Structure 1
Amino acid sequence: MRVRTTSAVAGASALLLLTGCGAADMTKQASPFANAQGAKTVTLSVQSWVGAQANVGVARYLLEHELGYRVDTVQVDEVPAWDALSQGRVDAILEDWGHPDQEKRYVEDKRTIAPGGDLGVTGHIGWYVPTYFAKRHPDVTDWKNLGKYADQMRTPESGGKGQLLDGSPSYVTNDKALVTNLKLDYQVVFAGSEAAQITQMKQFAKEGKPFLTYWYSPQWLFEKIPMTEVKLPAYKEGCDADAAKVACAYPHTPLKKYLNADFARTGGRAAAFLKNFKWTTEDQNEVSLMIANDKLTPQEAARKWADRHRSTWRSWLPS
């Protein structure tokens, strides 16, 4: 999960099927169905965080069951996904958290990728503490006071400093620069994936321990572990332009869809459907929770959601 910024490291968490981003290098491998001219096939890039899995699960279910397409999915990190999309190795990305450099290169300059419209969900990355700790120590929600609690946030992995728990190094994250530039006595520790990060957060919560973590919304885990955001210095346009000098909060980012430009022109009803696909944070979280918490497959969760929300998805079907 879960705002991924211009200056941030590209990518998102490797989640498995349990969770809000990383995997194969699609510049070196491709689905046999991608960019298949004239065939009723679609290949969707699926990032490994659960919100992306929810998007793809529902899109795939409806493409197959309502429009008669064969759908292939390939897990791929965020920046390699742009390369794969440009080359026609995948047909669509359904959730991008903001990669202006890639957008300029492929949408504006090369014109090999076409905008697919808004997903309907706004994403935000931030630093969070468990609400049970924030209630006992309300001032922890101001970054200026984090130093007071560094000792309580210390772990064996944080080298004598407070731990700031991140997911995968491939996520969009400014956290190392933020810790340095805000002069905080904290160490960024990468769990390795969203799934591993969630496991650690659940364990801390089970034991009632304090923790400080990079996290994002929308994300289903807020339903299980209430968390309160720490206020960082306010985001202003351009404050994250230099990755090494970032000292501001992450922005709120409307999440976007992108299509391979040839597919956007020749993809027929499938391309039209994906452009029309637009739902709410509540919709995405409903499917995400079924995948992550109820252990349903994305297709099982998609079927349940589709059965309950016919009036929503019927508007996505091309006439």
Structure 2
Amino acid sequence: MKFAPLMGAGLLALASVAPALAEVESTDPIKLTLHDWTGQLLTTKIMGSVLEKAGYNVEYVQADYIAQFAGLKTGDLHVAMEIWATTGQEAMDEAIATGNVVSYGSTGMQAIEEWWFPAYMKEDCPGLPDWQALNDCADQFSTAETAPFGRYLGGPVTWGGFDEERVEALGLDFEVVHAGTDAALFAELESAYQRKAPIVLWVYAPHWAVAKYEGEFVQFPAYTPECYTDPAWGSNPDAAYDCGKPTGPIYKVGWAGVSDKWPGAASAIEAFTIDNAAMGDMVGQVDLDGKDLDAVVADWVANNESTWQGWITQ
């Protein structure tokens, strides 16, 4: 980072603990977006805490996952710490193509988001995990609200994912019902799992669920970019999305003006990295153990100073 030079041993010692705001390029707040799942809140608040330790003024802004790109393009929002290749790639690519949004590279985490079922469902639907078995067992997954169709419990509508399009393109006898929140999604999984009740739902990693519960992801036709853009690709020549979801990195993106206004912060954001295991553990501390999210962030920052110091001394 390109902070102004400091004079004197006393000032140097102080700077190693908490650099003063005068050292940073601008005291205007850097606006980091918050969404509606625990991992993203953790990632963002870790980054925000580190930027604050470097002397920056940080503001957190609640924003819709996909709609936030409008604010990132104009500079009304500045940084989004988690754009998943599984669900946000198209919106991210379009925003970057305008020249007003830039990528800060991968967070180090690899994303999986897909339909998932508990292992005990194989007793009632032995063809799983092959997606073609779903129609043979649709009645096993139906509820009073969806019968005669099976129910697929999707994530909140704002997460995207093209599940309705996938159901139509593959001719699945299922209805997509969206959970209102991340917490509601996994509360329903917990309830179903304890009762060994039928359920197929959106599960993602990094997350504690894939470690806590025994189950599998549905195996759809493998994703290719053409599946989402060319109806002629795949088993349904008249529809796109006749495949599974992509897997890939979780990216950091931001308003292109960040590197001009706060170059040191931009360098730190680019340097940020964390792995699936560490994130899954922290999400579990919040969602399973009931720990305060800000306390979990503070613990990580306190225990990983040698890591994040490298981010702010680029």
CA contact (8 A) 1:47 1:78 kept: yes
Paired residues, number: 282
TM-score, structure 1 length as denominator?
0.81
**Equivalent residue for 1:254, pick from 232, 249, 254:** 249
Q: Secondary structure at the match of 1:286?
A: helix
Question: Matched residues in 2 for 1:237 and 1:107: separation?
Answer: 18
**Equivalent residue for 2:167, pick from 158, 165, 179:** 179
Alignment of 1:22-171 (within 5 A): 38-39=26-27, 41-64=29-52, 66-98=53-85, 99-109=88-98, 111-134=99-122, 138-171=126-159
Aligned to 2:9: none
CA contact (8 A) 2:102 2:254 kept: yes
- How many Å apart are 1:242 and its aligned residue? 5.2
Aligned to 1:5: none
| Residue type at the aligned position of 2:277 | E
Aligned to 1:189: 177
CA offset digits 1:176-204 (Å, max 9, x no partner): 22222222221111122222211211111
| Deviating more after overlay: 254-263 vs 215-224 | 215-224
CA contact (8 A) 1:58 1:299 kept: no
Aligned to 2:186: 198
Aligned to 1:209: 197
| Residue type at the aligned position of 2:297 | A
Aligned to 1:308: 303
| Deviating more after overlay: 292-301 vs 114-123 | 292-301
Unaligned runs of 5+ in 1: 1-35
- How many Å apart are 1:60 and its aligned residue? 1.8
- How many Å apart are 1:92 and its aligned residue? 0.4
Aligned to 2:290: 295
- How many Å apart are 1:245 and its aligned residue? 2.5
CA contact (8 A) 1:140 1:149 kept: no
- How many Å apart are 1:318 and its aligned residue? 2.2
Question: Matched residues in 2 for 1:299 and 1:136: separation?
Answer: 42
Check 1:87–1:190 CA distance in 2 against 1; reply closer, same or farther (3 A cut).
same
Unaligned runs of 5+ in 2: 1-23, 232-238
- How many Å apart are 1:135 and its aligned residue? 6.7
Alignment of 1:10-25 (within 5 A): none
| Residue type at the aligned position of 1:215 | V
Question: Matched residues in 1 for 2:264 and 2:151: separation?
Answer: 49
CA contact (8 A) 2:203 2:209 kept: no
| Residue type at the aligned position of 1:190 | H
CA contact (8 A) 1:166 1:189 kept: yes
- How many Å apart are 1:225 and its aligned residue? 2.5
CA offset digits 1:283-319 (Å, max 9, x no partner): 2212222222223333211121223333332322224
TM-score, structure 2 length as denominator?
0.82
Q: Secondary structure at the match of 2:127?
A: helix
- How many Å apart are 1:253 and its aligned residue? 2.0
Identity of aligned residues (%): 24
CA contact (8 A) 1:220 1:285 kept: yes
CA RMSD between the two structures: 2.3
Check 1:268–1:197 CA distance in 2 against 1; reply closer, same or farther (3 A cut).
same
- How many Å apart are 1:173 and its aligned residue? 2.0
